[in-house]
Amino acid sequence: MAVLQKNNYYNIFWGEGSQFITGLDPLGLKASSQGIYSLLLPGITNVSNRIRYYSFYCWLFNYYFENIRDSNPQKQKDFLRKADFILVLLMKSFEPATTNITGSLVAEEVIAKNSGDYFDINEHAIQTGGNKTYFANPFGAFGQFYVGPMKQLQLIKLNKHNQYLCTEDKDVPEVSGEALGKAFKESVGLEVIKVFISTLEEGKLHKKDMKSLYEKFSTSAIKPNSEEWKLILKMILQPDDVISSIEGLDHKSNHRKESITLLLESYTIQDRVNYYTLLDGIYSLTLQDGLKNNDTWNLWFLYTLNDYYQYAAGAIFYSVLKVLEEKPPMIPLTSFIREICESSLKIFLAEGNQKKNDPIEAFVNNESKIETDLINEIDQLNRQNKPFDTIARAFKLFFLLHNSNQAFLTDLKDLTDTFPVLEEGNVLDVLNTIEDYKGDLESFFYDYLLREIIYRHHYNGIRKMRGNQTSLKFILEEGTITFIGNFDFSFSSPRLGTVEDVMEDLKLVKENQLTSLGKEILIQLEKKE
């Protein structure tokens, strides 16, 4: 069997050579959530939590082109990798609990085994064949995690030698990479800069120098109201230039700035837990008061709505696989789906007077709980290993989502016409299917399980295949289904966790509360709205 994708054929072989991998989105439903938060928080990713890396790399590029000036791309890669590894050794030596420091596992191992006076940077940073280094990407942490966001924020660009360099003030309307790099240099100071460069050139990090280097280079050492601090804050609050890359949009927006303002406001909520307090609050307030005349708010509402849906769909898929796992290979697909339907329908109907052959409209407005209650129940039932109960609760959540959002469907469609961020199979597709469905409840269960769970996963898995590597969780063959493996379903990660880390590093937040500086910045942001 061959798959045609992007004008290329990829052969699929089942057999001894097949490699089954976990995969991240087996139903392809997180793609819509990812499309929304990528629009709302450009230049920030789920793996770029430490904002000072941006100014650190800008300083490194400034130094490279002012002092080294070697046009060999490999020379720049080695330079970056050595600087990276020096920083990770400093962080893991003095701030071992700080997360999202790339290369931490190797650094911790190196630190634990080293009993000498210095660390050999070249040994663990420079790629020389099969040696074990701190990170595989040729450009190190920069190449893996920061090059994309820094391009989006217009901090860096490529020259004709395929080397990265900073943008200049004349290149950009707001914060240039050159300016941010100079501000980092000013924050650190020339004396400590000289020690760092000497360490980098020698390839040895002497332990006697580590404390002074750490105090100035730490990712958490951004001084409030310093030039570096001001430029970082200005950078993340500037207009979203990346917006112009989406087809059909030719205007600037401030989604990132408005999202950061919403997040800072959430720290004033009593009993705030994390950013889910913000998302659940946006959802519940919108159900109460309606959509706002604010695209950022409405897009976060749509994100939350879609993520509630994809979480419930993921729970159904996980539960279906749990049942399939106990079955022998190559059982008839239709009889398997019928069994899932009968068992979950029995539980679904146990709390009411309806019957499985009642029309679907008898159920769509029949749920009195709120969404987060059903989500918590889905989680608890799954933990109790009750797959049919989990499926039943997930279907109840589908009908509740329809009931709660029926009045918004037209406006949400208009929103997604303006911002085309949703993929096929998103929550609006499903809610419209419920709205228009003409069959009874049993038929809806069966159709959904077959089309939106079994066939959707099979299509999604085949679409992502390359040769013999697949994330498929079952094999469909001649009307039968055979279990391969399962996966852990979850909510998507909307980059707000990264923004929380950034707010802490900028000293706007501490211990889940706004600092006095954070309150001051929030007042300024709210005045400008």
What pLDDT, in 10s, does the model give residues 174-203?
A: 999 999 999 999 999 999 999 999 999 999
In this structure, the number of other CB atoms found within 10 A of the CB of residue 260 comes to 24
**What pLDDT shows up at residue 250?**
53
Q: Is the dihedral of CA 384, 387, 390, 392 positive or negative?
A: negative
Report the distance separating Cα 237 and Cα 257, nearest Å.
5
DSSP symbol at 487: -
33-55 pLDDT, tens digit each: 999 999 999 999 998 899 999 99
375-414 pLDDT, tens digit each: 999 999 999 999 999 999 999 999 999 999 999 999 999 9
Contact 273, 496 (CB under 8 A): no
**What pLDDT shows up at residue 14?**
47
- The kind and range of the H/E element at 502 are helix 496-505
Q: Residue 73 above 50 pLDDT?
A: yes
Per the listing, tokens 């708010």 go with 297
Reading phi first (left if > 0) and then psi (alpha if -120 to 50, else beta), residue 100 is in: left
Q: Residue 324 above 90 pLDDT?
A: yes
**What pLDDT shows up at residue 61?**
97
Instruction: Taking residues 92-96, report their average pLDDT.
Output: 95
pTM of the model: 0.91
255-294 pLDDT, tens digit each: 999 999 999 999 999 889 999 999 999 999 999 999 999 9
**What pLDDT shows up at residue 19?**
56
SS3 for 374-428 is HHHHHHHHHHCCCHHHHHHHHHHHHHHHHHHHHHHHHHHHHHHHHCCCCCCCCHH
328-345 pLDDT, tens digit each: 999 999 999 999 999 999
Structure token digits, residue 502 = 């950034």
510-520 pLDDT, tens digit each: 999 999 999 99
Report the distance separating Cα 78 and Cα 133, nearest Å.
12
Q: Choose among 486, 330, 484, 487: nearest CA to 18.
A: 484
SS3 for 209-230 is HHHHHHHHHCCCCCCCCCHHHH
Structure token digits, residue 398 = 């589908």
438-474 pLDDT, tens digit each: 999 999 999 999 999 999 999 988 887 665 667 899 9
Beta-strand relationship, 118-120 and 204-206 = antiparallel
Instruction: Taking residues 102-126, report their average pLDDT.
Output: 92
Quickly state the pLDDT bin for 16 (edges 50, 70, 90).
very low
**What pLDDT shows up at residue 468?**
60
